[in-house]
Amino acid sequence: MAWAVPAGAAPPPCMITVTNPSANLRWVRAMKAFPPFNLDLSKIVKREPKPVQTITGIASYYGGRWIGRKTANGEIYRKADLTAAHKTLPFNTMVRVTNQRNKKSVVLRINNRGPYIKGRILDVSVAAARELQMETSGLAKVTIEVLDKSPTQKKRPSSKLVASTQNRDKAATN
């Protein structure tokens, strides 16, 4: 059954289409009084990812000549992005970095390799350094919490495993 709205009349509240994502919450609040939109918005809680590993050490930040160059995973380094470089963590791993001096923290995505200076465990972008308030000193003692992987970050099979499976299948058919 199609709904017909008379010309010049406003559509009923249930037919309003909202294309602006920031307006969606305002729209839901406005529709709260209309069934079936009787929602208790106070019970909506942002779920914090669970840390699976904690690392403590010295972090630095990098910018300058690296701005606009490719990172180790092929992206272009932008100083305004909340990203970091780590020697061993997989690319796209999310980490919460906390400056131990002032307790400021920020969630970053690993997209590069480094640091290559002995004694440092993480290089953060300029924007992350600003958030952590370590821009003037350049270095900070930090705690890194490796956050639980989301369902979209599931581990892919390695290329060796895929190749060995393909070879096994070819041998079975011959």
- pLDDT tens digits for range 68-95: 999 999 999 999 999 999 999 999 999 9
Phi-psi domain of 103 (left: phi exceeds 0; alpha: psi -120 through 50; beta: other)? left
Whether the bond into 13 is cis, omega within 30 of 0: no
- pLDDT tens digits for range 50-69: 889 999 999 999 988 999 99
Banded pLDDT at 159 (limits 50, 70, 90): very low
Give me the CATH code for the 54-150 domain, please. Answer: 2.40.40.10
Banded pLDDT at 167 (limits 50, 70, 90): low
Q: Round to whole Å and give the CA distance between 82 and 174.
A: 52
CB neighbour class for 111 (10 Å; exposed up to 12, middle 13-18, buried from 19): buried
Residue 95: C-alpha distances to residues 34, 54, 92, 106, 159 (Å): 41, 9, 9, 8, 26
pTM of the entire predicted model: 0.61
Domain ranges of the chain: 54-150
Please check the confidence at residue 156 and state whether its pLDDT lies above 60: no
